[in-house]
Chains A and B, each alone.
Chain A
Amino acid sequence: MNILEIKNLSISFDNTTIIDDISLNVKKGEIISIIGPSGSGKSTLLKCINLLNIPDTGEIIFNGTNILTSFNKVNQIRSKIGMVFQSFNLFNNMNVLKNCIIGPTKILKIKKSEAELEALRLLDLVGMKEFKNAKVATLSGGQRQRVAIARCLAMKPDIILFDEPTSALDPEMVGEVLDVIKKLTNDGITLIIVTHEMAFAKEISDRVIFMSDGKIVEDGTPSEIFDNPKNERTKSFLQRFNNH
């Protein structure tokens, strides 16, 4: 069953086409990595799925609903689509625990005590339980991203979109965040991960998508993309990556 169907999606900014007629089906529970050069439209694609960017044309069918014609339900739709940002974006005016219960209590209307219990379980999962009362400003990047993942999970989303979750981290903190993401891959939750961590993508993904110039250039299993890329652009992108 497809949880997400993207059909002929396009978006331009200032007359430059950023997403160029992309179609993509995502099965429930699938782990998809999106790789590609900077500026190829990866973040924009994720933002479209979450309606933070509004595409010019195309359809996005999420759980059977075309979300582009359901703006009256945008908040309900977004609550089912989690997003983890490169820059973490934890709420600076709340401590760690509050970050994780604000969504469930104010959007899902879950009782505070219940929400706290669940938030603590999730904070434990990401290894941040002991920081529940910490202020955001006192946390390292890796810690912030782990809390951001817990905040996202607290909404019980059907799908989580990761936009380069480790790109803003110091190298020594990348591992702790990737480990947490890896834990999620066994939960049946659908993940779409934009990343430059090629080894990680190869290890955890069911499918890897290579994007360039707003198009999906190649789409296949990790070994198809990484070991036997067919397209010249995929080959040269991966080659440049390996030489770094």
Chain B
Amino acid sequence: MFDNFITIITDFYTLLLQGVGITLLLAVSGTIIGFIISLVFGMIRVQSINPYDNYFVQVLKTDLNNFVKIYVTIFRGTPMILQALIFYYGFLFIGLDWSALSAGIFTVSLNTGAYLTEVIRSGINSVEAGQMDAARSLGMSYPKAMFYVVFPQALKNSMGAIGNELIINIKDTAVLSTIGIIDLFSATETIIGTTYLHLEAYTIGAIIYLFLTFTSSKLLMALEKKLGANVVEITSSN
């Protein structure tokens, strides 16, 4: 059995490394794009209507808020594997010829965006109202007060949850092999296709996933410590 492990690694290490590359690409780019989405959408979610907003602004705020709420509900309420399949085939159906990898990154990004929108929203809401009041009372505009005072604190509160999302993405992108992406999970399946060493290949896959998540979480913890963020352990899963 031990020999089988050695055989798999020596014969298929390029395939495995390629799989690791794709898995990291999906997880990292998905988390970064999702984070950017969440900045915009999280900011929309914390907008409330002021008595002196004009009619147009009031309607805009309400509509955008409802749009983001629906987006978050849909993406958090359906399995990522179905989101990926619907996007992949849906776009092919309307004539957009895109690769499985593009569809994968697209899906992970939107999925992560939905989760992180809630993280950013609660991060902003967790900053005491007095911080905003003090900033506004100095004469800062709302965007300035957000940018200089509230948002940096919100981000610090959210660091742990954002890092956690990256770890989840490393693991959960395994489902994207369904649309034909050759990620780490798919690589182990390919190995099994030629060697029939089910247990050994799956075990190697699991060990590599564990190595990736463990290393990333250590790196994130070091980063958070450096930035002085509150280290929080949040368990959630897509």
Contact = CB atoms under 8 A, between A and B. Distances in A.
Interface in B42-81: 50-52
Contacts, number: 67
B134 interface: yes
Interface in B100-144: 128, 130-131, 133-141, 144
A107 B130 contact: no
Interface stretch (B84-92, B149-157, B170-178, B202-210): B149-157
Given A71-B52, A93-B153, A106-B148, A78 B133 contact: no
A54 B52 contact: yes
A198 to B, nearest CB: 26
Contacts of A151: 138
Label chain B's interface by main secondary structure: helix
B132 to A, nearest CB: 9
B137 A52 contact: yes
Contacts of A80: 139
B156 A89 contact: no
Label chain A's interface by main secondary structure: mixed
A91 B149 contact: yes
A92 B131 contact: yes
Contacts of A92: 131, 153
Interface of B: 50-52, 128, 130-131, 133-141, 144, 148-149, 152-153, 156
Nearest 7 Cβ contacts at the A-B interface: A79-B139, A89-B134, A89-B130, A83-B137, A103-B138, A78-B139, A93-B152
B149 A93 contact: yes
A85 interface: yes
A145 interface: no
A97 B137 CA distance: 18
A63 interface: no
A87 B133 CA distance: 11
A89 B127 CA distance: 11
A92 B154 CA distance: 11
22 contacts: A50-B137, A52-B133, A52-B136, A71-B52, A75-B141, A77-B139, A78-B136, A78-B138, A83-B134, A83-B137, A91-B131, A91-B134, A91-B148, A91-B149, A92-B131, A92-B153, A93-B156, A102-B148, A103-B139, A103-B140, A106-B148, A107-B140
